[in-house]
Amino acid sequence: MKRIDTAVAVWSVLSLAAMNRQILTYSCLARLIGVPRSNLGRLLEPIQSYCILSNLPPLTSIVVEERTGRPGDGFIAASDLPQAQADTLSHDWLQQAVPHPHDFRKALDTLPSCGLTLGELMQQIS
């Protein structure tokens, strides 16, 4: 399965977790979707970019490191993590249509987020 197609499946898993007010560890998410933990950043990036561009709560904020309880270094969608997670967990994801693969591709092409700070991303948008 390709990266963008897998991101669609990850979106659904994260949406369901958020609707159940669950925070997932990277290891748990990797087991749920059947990919190596080391591949998750590449799968979460299109979701993060889509949420930023669509002014949605950062769905990827609910995926955290076991050791720290915080998202990894690639998470740059919000500076206030507790608020971002609260917004994500209270959003009605069932009312949110699952993005089509081309939506994720467009978001990733418009706003690749890995390795950039939130400020750098916002400069790209404006």
Q: Model's pTM, two decimal places?
A: 0.88
Indicate the SS3 state at residue 35: coil
Which pLDDT does position 111 carry in this prediction? 87
14-50 pLDDT, tens digit per residue, is 999 999 999 999 999 999 999 999 989 999 999 999 9
- Domain of 61 in residue numbering reads as 3-125
Helix or strand or coil: residue 17?
helix
At 70 the three-state DSSP class reads coil
Tens digit of each residue's pLDDT (9 = 90 or more) over 64-111: 999 999 999 889 999 999 999 999 999 999 999 999 999 999 999 998
**Given this model, what pLDDT does residue 126 score?**
52
Q: Could you write out the DSSP letters of every residue in 77-107?
A: S-S-HHHHHHHHHHS-GGGSPPPPHHHHHHH
Residue 54: half-sphere exposure toward Cβ, Cα within 13 Å: 19
**Per-chain mean pLDDT for the chain:** 90
Question: What's the domain count of the chain?
Answer: 1
Return the pLDDT at 113.
73
